[in-house]
């Protein structure tokens, strides 16, 4: 028994020191090279402070809508709904989101709605949508703001983030930055 407990205690102490000390400090050191020293990107607009790396709730027709959030866009704690794709409550929630999206975006075919517009991300705080999810909202926003669709499309193009190193990931758009660009239109 002594042959098993002593090594287990040593391993536990080593892991506690390594993961609570060395690993944590090394990640903190790496974060110092990130924008805003790893504290997230902050932007001030219209007298409010926004965190670019956390989804914001936009529901007006004149703005791009983000992904739905399982945590009601509360940056204090992230999390998914933990409901599987066959859960009846989850299916009803997604169906209600589809109906709401179709109501506010007439002329859109149900099959053309990108999945991220009706399902939340794993964290519930993903600030990005795909280019397709932005483009499908152009007509609604152009009508609400009384602007030509080409103007809205050019804002999408200007705010599209390319994949990391040109090939890792997909093109994406930060909804907050997109909506701030909309507000800056004259």
Domain co-membership, 75 together with 166: yes
pLDDT over threshold 70, residue 186: no
> Same domain for 104 and 61?
yes
Q: Which of 31-40, 87-96, 151-160, 168-177 has the lowest mean pLDDT?
A: 31-40
Please say whether the beta carbons of 28 and 22 come within 8 A.
Answer: no
Same domain, 58 and 135: yes
* Residue 163 reports pLDDT greater than 70: yes
Residues 48 and 19 occupy one common structural domain: no
- Provide the 10 A C-beta neighbour count for residue 73: 17
Residue 72 has pLDDT above 70, yes or no: yes
Q: Are residues 21 and 47 in the same domain?
A: no
What percent of the chain is helix, strand and coil (3-state, nearest 5)?
50, 10, 45
Provide the residue range defining the domain that includes 73. Answer: 40-183
Same domain as 85, residue 18: no
Residue keyed to tokens 């989804």: 55
36 sits in which H/E element: none
- Cα 56 to Cα 53, 63, 126, distances in angstroms: 9, 11, 9
Query: Do 78 and 159 fall into the same domain?
Result: yes
- Residues 100, 169: Cα–Cα separation, whole Å: 29
> Domain count of the chain?
2
What does the H/E/C string look like for 76-123? Answer: CCCCCCCCCCCCHHHHHHHHHHHHHHHHHCCCCCHHHCCHHHCCCCCC
Tens digit of each residue's pLDDT (9 = 90 or more) over 34-70 = 777 777 778 887 788 877 888 888 889 999 999 998 8
- 116 and 50 share one domain: yes
- Specify whether the CB–CB gap between 126 and 161 falls below 8 A: no
Q: Which pLDDT score is estimated for 37?
A: 77
12 and 77, same domain (yes or no): no
Same domain, 23 and 45: no
Same domain, 78 and 18: no
Split at pLDDT 50, 70, 90, the class of 85 is: confident
> Which among 170, 168, 142 has a CA at the least distance from the CA of 155?
142
Query: What 8-state DSSP symbol labels residue 61?
Result: T
Q: Both 178 and 102 in a single domain?
A: yes
Read off the pLDDT of residues 6-35 as tens digits, 9 standing for 90 and up.
999 999 999 999 999 999 899 889 888 877
* pLDDT per residue as tens digits for the range 101-157: 999 999 899 999 999 999 988 787 889 999 999 999 999 999 999 999 999 999 999
């Amino acid at each position: 028994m002594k042959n098993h407990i002593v090594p287990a205690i040593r391993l536990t102490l080593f892991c506690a020191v390594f993961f609570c000390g060395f690993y944590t400090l090394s990640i903190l050191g790496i974060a110092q090279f990130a924008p805003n020293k790893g504290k997230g990107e902050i932007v001030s607009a219209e007298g409010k402070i926004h965190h670019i790396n956390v989804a914001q709730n936009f529901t007006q027709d004149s703005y791009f809508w983000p992904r739905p959030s399982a945590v009601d866009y509360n940056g204090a704690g992230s999390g998914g709904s933990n409901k599987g794709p066959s859960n009846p409550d989850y299916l009803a929630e997604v169906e209600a989101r589809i109906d709401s999206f179709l109501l506010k975006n007439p002329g859109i075919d149900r099959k053309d709605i990108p999945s991220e517009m009706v399902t939340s991300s794993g964290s519930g705080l993903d600030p990005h949508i795909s280019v397709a999810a932005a483009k499908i909202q152009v007509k609604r926003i152009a009508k609400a703001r009384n602007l030509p669709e080409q103007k809205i499309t050019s804002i999408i193009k200007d705010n599209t983030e390319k994949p990391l190193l040109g090939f890792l990931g997909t093109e994406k758009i930060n909804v907050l930055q997109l909506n701030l660009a909309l507000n800056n239109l004259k």
